[in-house]
Amino acid sequence: MFDYYDKIIVGIAGSLLGILTNIALHTGLFVGTLVATLLVHDTVFRNPPLPATDPRVAAATIVWHVFFGIVAVAAFAA
């Protein structure tokens, strides 16, 4: 029913639901982003939908890590 990549997308969305729990917002966001990063890494590098030589793979990785860096800085600056 669900493809591997569908499960990854649901996992990424689910990992960010930690911000709705009793833990501090910045901690939940950081942990959720860390889990999402692991899922993205698995998808991009271990089981990529595109060949690793495709420039879109590198671009997606760079964009995600920049986003993760911004979230990490914001989480610890608060």
Reading the block at residue 5, the tokens are: 């990549």
* Residues contacting 15, CB < 8 A, separation 6+: 31, 32, 33, 35, 36, 39
pTM above 0.85, yes or no: no
Digit-by-digit pLDDT tens for the chain (78 residues) are 778 888 888 888 888 776 677 777 778 778 888 888 888 888 877 887 766 677 877 787 788 888 888 888 887 776
